[in-house]
Amino acid sequence: MFGLEKKDRSLLILVALLTIFAPFILNPFPEGSAMAQFNAGYPDLMQRFVIFGIFAIGFNILFGLTGYLSFGHAAFLGVGSYAAVWMFKLLSMNVVPAIVLAVVMSGLFALLIGYISLRRSGIYFSILTLAFAQMMFALAYSVLTPITGGETGLQLALDDPRILDGAGASAGNIPVPSLFGLEMRDSADLVLGSWVFTFNIGYYFCAVIMLLAFYLSIRIFRSPFGMMLRAIKSNQQRLNYTGLNPKPYTLAAFVISGMYAGLAGALMASMDPLAGAERMFWTASGEVVLMTILGGAGTLIGPVLGAGMIKYMENIISKINSDILHGWFAFLPDGLEDFVVTIIYPFIGKGWHLTLGLIFMAVVIFLPGGLVEGGQRLAALFRRKKTSTDDGSPAKTEPAE
């Protein structure tokens, strides 16, 4: 089915089920309870999960397969956002043309930047991509203000032509992005007792796009093209000795990765029609590097897990303040309560980056394969325990092949 092996097919089905039932999975606690702070099933955050998952999946095709570390991938995220908003302003509020233009434009920029940057490898390649991204950020922030909106960003206006949509917005309101009449912001709530589950059109549209992007990444990983990229990562010099030129393959991977980033940028603009230069800043590029390494570079689902974890901490853990902590530990004696809150508070709220840094250090030191490796170790541990319990003897260790 879908041209995938059984293992990959099962993984795709698992990801599909997780995205479909995300409103239930991310809202495990009833509204009004003390633990409702950890619920993440609201549309804006769920959209961020899947959009940044796409961004990380694309970056993993470059970094995870070829080993080329780009510090400037946010440039394509910004290009995709600007292209999508311009399509909303000039043509139509339908998200499909905006996404198509964003992917094409980001691919063209990636082709140009990749052609120049891939003349070098290693740290020199990384610095070149960073330099290009910072130049594009500077252009968007100040030089190209008529095109990008400069510091305030590119926004929709009532007097935008929107050729296919006819005259301006009805009732004097700026229109919102839609998919053939279905507005991205439309939602429906399902109330079950103390639980409220929100189903948002924008989220499910992004989720379908992410599943298609994930499926494409699986096909790339399992294709001869993917094997060639792994060979480049393994030993590019030895590959040169065979008479094969790796440059076209690395350039193709760079362009595909840039198009993924442009797709993510277009989806961000489709959910919130605003494009700003801050999406091109180097910190955004560093964030996708963290997502990929944290989840597991070179794995299929790892970047999605890393993106979800970072966005969860950024939007949930960062909002826990001292008042919430005092509410949680109110059952303790006053002196002990204040002591516990004092110890925990530096790692949450505004200090959530400290917790993320500690987690990242632990992953790099103890789990080089990221969260995926951690899951594999746990699964192997449970399998050994089960085998030992079934036959009454310790599990046998098989030699590695």
What pLDDT, in 10s, does the model give residues 239-272?
Answer: 888 888 899 999 999 999 999 999 999 999 999 9
What is the enclosing helix (H) or strand (E) of 255? helix 247-271
Instruction: Quote the CA–CA distance of 296 and 370 in Å, as a whole number.
Output: 4
For residue 401, the model assigns a pLDDT of 37
- Backbone φ and ψ for 195, nearest 5 degrees, come out as -100, 140
Instruction: Quote the CA–CA distance of 333 and 323 in Å, as a whole number.
Output: 16
pLDDT in tens, 159-218: 888 888 764 455 567 888 989 888 999 999 999 888 989 999 999 999 999 999 999 999
Q: Say if 342 falls within a structural domain.
A: yes
For residue 127, the model assigns a pLDDT of 95
Q: Are both 230 and 365 inside the same structural domain?
A: no
Q: Say if 303 falls within a structural domain.
A: no
pLDDT in tens, 95-126: 999 999 999 999 999 999 999 999 998 899 99
Residue 83 sits at the vertex; the CA angle it makes with 78 and 86, to the nearest 5 degrees, is: 125
The tokens for 308 are 């979800």
Least trusted range by pLDDT, from 133-137, 144-148, 327-331, 386-390: 386-390
pLDDT at 135 > cutoff 90: yes
Q: Are both 287 and 326 inside the same structural domain?
A: no
Domain boundary among 229, 263, 295: 295
Q: Which residues contact 38 (CB under 8 A, 6 or more apart)?
A: 28, 29, 316
Q: Which amino acid is at 396?
A: K
The rounded mean pLDDT for the chain is 89
Residue 399 pLDDT class (50, 70, 90 cuts): very low
Q: Are both 347 and 258 inside the same structural domain?
A: no
CA 139 to chain centre: 25
Q: Are both 283 and 338 inside the same structural domain?
A: no
The secondary structure of residue 272, as a DSSP letter, is S
Strand partners, 274: 155
For residue 386, the model assigns a pLDDT of 74
The tokens for 208 are 């379908």
As to burial, measured by CB atoms within 10 angstroms (0-12 exposed, 13-18 middle, 19+ buried), residue 396 is exposed
Q: Which residues contact 138 (CB under 8 A, 6 or more apart)?
A: none
Domain boundary among 265, 295, 325: 295
pLDDT in tens, 283-308: 899 999 999 999 999 999 999 999 99
Q: Are both 233 and 267 inside the same structural domain?
A: yes
Q: Are both 328 and 211 inside the same structural domain?
A: no
Q: Are both 138 and 256 inside the same structural domain?
A: yes
The tokens for 79 are 């290009």
For residue 81, the model assigns a pLDDT of 96
For residue 400, the model assigns a pLDDT of 40
Q: Say if 304 falls within a structural domain.
A: no
| Overall domain count for the chain | 2
Q: Which residue's entry shows tokens 């993510």?
A: 264
Q: Say if 132 falls within a structural domain.
A: yes
Q: Say if 220 falls within a structural domain.
A: yes
Tell me which residue range forms the domain holding 25. 6-295
pLDDT in tens, 336-391: 988 998 999 899 888 898 999 999 999 989 988 899 999 888 888 888 877 766 65
Higher pLDDT, 308 or 396: 308
For residue 57, the model assigns a pLDDT of 96
For residue 322, the model assigns a pLDDT of 87
Domain boundary among 235, 264, 295: 295
Q: Tell me how many helices (H) and strands (E) the chain has.
A: 16, 6
- Backbone φ and ψ for 221, nearest 5 degrees, come out as -60, -40
Q: Say if 53 falls within a structural domain.
A: yes
Helix (H, G, I), strand (E, B) or coil at 188: strand
Beta strands per DSSP E along 154-281: 154-155, 178-179, 182-183, 187-192, 195-200, 274-275
- Backbone φ and ψ for 319, nearest 5 degrees, come out as -95, -5
For range 114-143, the mean pLDDT: 93
DSSP 86-129: HHHHHT-SBHHHHHHHHHHHHHHHHHHHHHHHTTS-THHHHHHH
As to burial, measured by CB atoms within 10 angstroms (0-12 exposed, 13-18 middle, 19+ buried), residue 179 is middle
Q: Are both 242 and 331 inside the same structural domain?
A: no
For residue 171, the model assigns a pLDDT of 56
Q: Say if 305 falls within a structural domain.
A: no
Q: Say if 26 falls within a structural domain.
A: yes
Instruction: Quote the CA–CA distance of 49 and 64 in Å, as a whole number.
Output: 20
Q: Are both 178 and 38 inside the same structural domain?
A: yes
pLDDT at 224 > cutoff 80: yes
For residue 109, the model assigns a pLDDT of 96
Q: Are both 246 and 340 inside the same structural domain?
A: no
Q: Are both 291 and 350 inside the same structural domain?
A: no
pTM of the full structure:
0.92
Strand partners, 195: 192
CATH number, domain containing residue 144:
1.10.3470
pLDDT in tens, 3-48: 788 899 999 999 999 999 999 999 998 888 878 888 998 899 999 9
Residue 219 pLDDT class (50, 70, 90 cuts): very high
pLDDT at 237 > cutoff 90: no
| Ranges of H-type helices in 42-94 | 43-66, 74-90
The secondary structure of residue 265, as a DSSP letter, is H
Q: Name the percent of the chain lying above pLDDT 70.
A: 95
Instruction: Give the CB-side neighbour count of residue 7, counting CA atoms within 13 A.
Output: 4
Q: Are both 229 and 355 inside the same structural domain?
A: no
